[in-house]
C-alpha cells in the first residue's frame, strides 16, 4: 500500500509539473475522487467504520491489564 501511494504521489508530481509548464489540467482531483469512491465501497462491503476509533487497545488487553493491577 505504501509503495502504491508513493507511485501515486510521483505521478501527481509529474502531472503538476506538466500543468505548471503548459497550464493543462490533468484531473488529479478526479483521480482522488475515484479512489475515494472505491475506498468507500470497500468500507461498506466490510462494514468498517468511517474513522478508526481513537482507543485502539482491544478489550481483552484492557481486561488483562486490569486483572494484573488487582
How many domains would you assign to the chain? Answer: 1
pLDDT the model gives residue 9: 92
DSSP state of 46: T
C-alpha cell at 66: 486490569
Domain coverage including residue 31: 2-69
Q: What is the pLDDT of residues 22-67, one digit of tens each?
A: 887 768 888 999 999 999 999 999 999 888 778 778 888 888 888 8
Element counts in the chain: helices (H) and strands (E): 3, 0
Amino acid at each position: 500500500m505504501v509503495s502504491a501511494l508513493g507511485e501515486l504521489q510521483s505521478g501527481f508530481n509529474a502531472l503538476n509539473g506538466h500543468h505548471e509548464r503548459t497550464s493543462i489540467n490533468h484531473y488529479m482531483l478526479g483521480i482522488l475522487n475515484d479512489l475515494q469512491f472505491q475506498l468507500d465501497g470497500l468500507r461498506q462491503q466490510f462494514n468498517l467504520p468511517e474513522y478508526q476509533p481513537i482507543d485502539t487497545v482491544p478489550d481483552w488487553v484492557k481486561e488483562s491489564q486490569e486483572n494484573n493491577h488487582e
